[in-house]
Structure 1
Amino acid sequence: MSRYYRHIVLTDEEIPLKKWMREHLQLTNRQISRLKFQPGALMVNHQRVYVSHLLQKGDLIEIKLESDRPPLPLSDPHYPLTVLYEDEDLLVLNKPCGSVVHPIHAHYHDTLLIQASGYCAKKGETARLHCVGRLDKETSGIVLLAKNRIAAQKLTELRNSQQSQKTYYAIVEGVMEKQNDVISFPMMNDPAEPRKMIIHENGKAASTHYSVVKQFCDHALLAVTIKTGRMHQIRVHMKAIHHPLIGDVLYGGKPYPRLCLHACQIVFYQPFTNERITISAPYDMSFQKLLVSSIR
């Protein structure tokens, strides 16, 4: 899918197009170089120009952003897609527990990315969607998808620089000793079982912050944020402090119909307009049922 970014120059100062793209769109030299070789990607006043072109007040800049990969094969949704937010650059979904985000062995046509591609195609969009921060199969909640490569790169940079933040709800076992805390244990893949992670001094740094939203008699609802994005980070860190997630049998939690982890909110900036966007996602009935039953 193509996306034209249009802007009218307002300043009196002449500025090379390349410098303007670096300063106003925060594009890297590599991204700009790729645009140079795409037909019609760089236009000023409807004319193709070089990146050295000097912009003047009143000039209309048009930059064509598009994916560098073909779209995924299309498939009708196997479950209703819950769209939380959408614009010409972004698509934000509420992922159900049990759905897989990326195509893998045994999961291809039923993955979230392919379902979302089918959703876009029905509207006449053929975007190659890019996932910015995936969720585990067992985790529900907010998934942020970019409709073009440059939007994906800019959103990833925002996430890496802590300028975007995702908050999770987790239901964990036991009575919490602290109302809030930061868990900082390095993590690595378990050599004995590759699909698991373990705490290890030779692992990569990982930091998890939690606060207690509601304490029940034998378990608690927590609001959790992470500064690093290690696989199974929240699950491993909660196990490490002896409060595993309910439903997380892989890490010693009590059996339950689902893993009690839900990405409930995300705050980020639109990659081109710089608008601050806050999106919330309600959890499903299986998550709600455990909280309601705990009150009685």
Structure 2
Amino acid sequence: MMQKPFKPKKGFPKKGFKGGKGPKKFQKKPHKGPKKPIPEEIKVIMENYKLCLPIALKVHTAKITVEQAVEEQKIKDEVKAKALVLCEKFKEINFAAACKIIKDNSSPEEYLARIQQKKDRLLAVELQKKARMQQDSAQSPAYQTLEEYTKDQTLLELAQYKGTFNKGRIRDFTPYTFYFVSQDKETIIHRLSLKYLYKEEHSAMLQKWIITDKTIQKKQLRPKYKPIDRFQFPEGVLQKGAEIMLALHEGEMIRGVIEWFTPYDIMLKASGKYPLWVFRHAVIECALLKRPPKTEP
């Protein structure tokens, strides 16, 4: 089969970005430092004419007159009052959206319809991703396991970065996200926020099994977004039946026998019988403890 030509993602030119920084939305925001105090002369304008800071600044810089400022403030206050009423009536609409609805002379029904259309489009895209995952033989073990978890409503415990744990069930999934239900509330959890997961019924045993390297933990390492920048396993280490020791970003040392693996996941059997799913983006080191038993030809 002929390989399809490489197509860069939207916003990413083929030859890279000049300076290597990429689009502004992908750059780190500069540290602005502490907020500067409001000058006294602007405070006086705000107090004398009951103006908010942005409008008072316009008066101070002579962009508008005091009369224009008072009128602008009046309109702003009217929009705010109407927006608060709208938020009270429609709990799913936040204040910023309510203000925009009032300014655009639109209706909350139209706004909610647009939001639902956007959600439907995003859901269609996510379902396409899930279908591609199902068709990808390299990800088949992960897909089958997740299908079992969702079908059986298996109670899981997810280990996230910064030492937090989340108990609940996976309602649905895509290659990159879990639709996770915890305490009757559904949230979308991205894989990159996870280090490993296991069945909640095995929690007590596995928490004793996993040890922590304090030296690694102090480094506060985080996952790399590009797979090429992540830890690369030596050739021949990842084999079904091999016993390995994994070191993770936050110092966890996990030992187990490989049940299956994909380009993004490793399922271990810890202590001989407890399944433990490790996400490969969380791994920083791997040691081969025992090779898989030889099979007779």
Q: For this structure pair, what is the TM-score category when the shorter chain's length is used for normalisation? A: under 0.3
With the length of structure 2 as denominator, give the TM-score of the two structures: 0.25
Which of the pair has the greater relative contact order for Cα pairs under 8 Å at 6+ separation? 1
* Higher alpha-carbon Rg: 2
Larger relative helix fraction: 2
Larger relative strand fraction: 1
With the length of structure 1 as denominator, give the TM-score of the two structures: 0.25
